[in-house]
């Protein structure tokens, strides 16, 4: 319970620090049905309908629902193959579209998602739908934390695979473009992009974000400097400019 409280706190802090429009998503791949948390929605069993994985994410981040999706709940072929819930059918059209990463067949029976700020299960990772400014803040914090730049690869398709699988398999940060299905079925905004990271990065990332906000101006303050010449600068800027023999005083 203490750990869940830590996740909830970090989820709420992440949401508030970045001013996110929707909740960060906690993600868990499950191997047995008894790993499904109490109160989780089972689409086919509870409601008699099916969802695509992107719709699962949308319902979780917008409505803050905890949702468990097993094989029978899916209505899109790509996550079924990517998550190893079915065998690859080797269909010619599918073969053209399935260069995405995958889990081993049969390793998992499904996925659970929940709003990070109200979590009641142990997640593997976190997904954040953000705008570019919010993404920059997270990538900057990750760079400070890891002392390295964040690397990713981009595909216009199959965001349900790219945002999840490399993060869990390789323990890496991931930036993912929402795919066309996210726009047509899950109402993703045109200004939204996905940042994913392993759960063990959550608390350090939030703490680093908090420190970076203490050191730098917040977004409102920076926006007021738009196109302003001789804008106010932190002291170390002036130290560098003095060293280089350049002007140091604000006009």
For 182-197, what is each residue's pLDDT tens digit? 999 999 999 999 999 9
**57 has pLDDT over 50:** yes
User: Measuring CA to CA, which residue among 112, 111, 113, 114 is closest to residue 8?
Assistant: 114
Mean pLDDT for the stretch of residues 7-13:
95
Query: Cβ distance 97 to 158 under 8 Å?
Result: yes
Mean pLDDT for the stretch of residues 68-94:
92
pLDDT band at 80 (very low <50, low <70, confident <90, very high): very high
| Structure confidence by residue, pLDDT tens digits, 120-138 | 999 999 999 999 999 999 9
Mean pLDDT for the stretch of residues 186-213:
95
Q: Which long-range contacts (CB under 8 A, 24 or more apart) does 146-153 make?
A: 146/173, 150/175, 152/176
User: Measuring CA to CA, which residue among 186, 137, 146, 147 is closest to residue 163?
Assistant: 186
pLDDT of 96 reads 76
Task: Tell me how far apart the alpha carbons of residues 104 and 87 are, in angstroms, rounded to a whole number.
Answer: 10
pLDDT band at 234 (very low <50, low <70, confident <90, very high): confident
All structural domains of the chain with their residue ranges: 2-216, 220-251
């Amino acid at each position: 319970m203490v750990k869940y409280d830590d996740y909830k706190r970090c989820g709420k802090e992440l949401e508030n620090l970045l001013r996110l429009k929707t909740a960060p998503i906690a993600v868990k791949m499950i191997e047995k049905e008894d790993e499904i948390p109490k109160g989780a929605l089972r689409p086919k069993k509870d409601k008699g309908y099916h969802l695509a994985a992107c719709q699962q994410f949308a319902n979780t981040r917008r409505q803050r629902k905890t949702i468990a999706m097993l094989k029978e709940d899916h209505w899109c072929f790509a996550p079924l193959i990517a998550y190893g819930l079915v065998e690859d059918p080797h269909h010619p059209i599918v073969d053209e579209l399935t260069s995405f990463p995958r889990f081993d067949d049969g390793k998992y029976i499904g996925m659970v998602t929940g709003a990070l700020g109200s979590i009641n299960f142990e997640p593997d990772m976190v997904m954040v739908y953000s705008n570019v400014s919010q993404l920059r803040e997270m990538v900057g914090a990750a760079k400070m934390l890891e002392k390295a730049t964040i690397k990713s690869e981009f595909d216009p398709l199959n965001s349900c695979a790219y945002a999840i699988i490399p993060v869990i398999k390789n323990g890496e940060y991931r930036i993912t473009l929402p795919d066309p299905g996210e726009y047509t079925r899950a109402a993703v905004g045109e200004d939204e992009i996905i940042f994913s990271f392993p759960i063990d990065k959550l608390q350090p990332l939030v703490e680093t974000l908090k420190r970076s906000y203490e050191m730098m101006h917040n977004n409102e303050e920076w926006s007021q400097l738009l196109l302003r010449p001789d804008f106010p600068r932190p002291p170390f800027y002036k130290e560098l400019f003095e060293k280089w023999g350049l002007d140091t005083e604000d006009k």
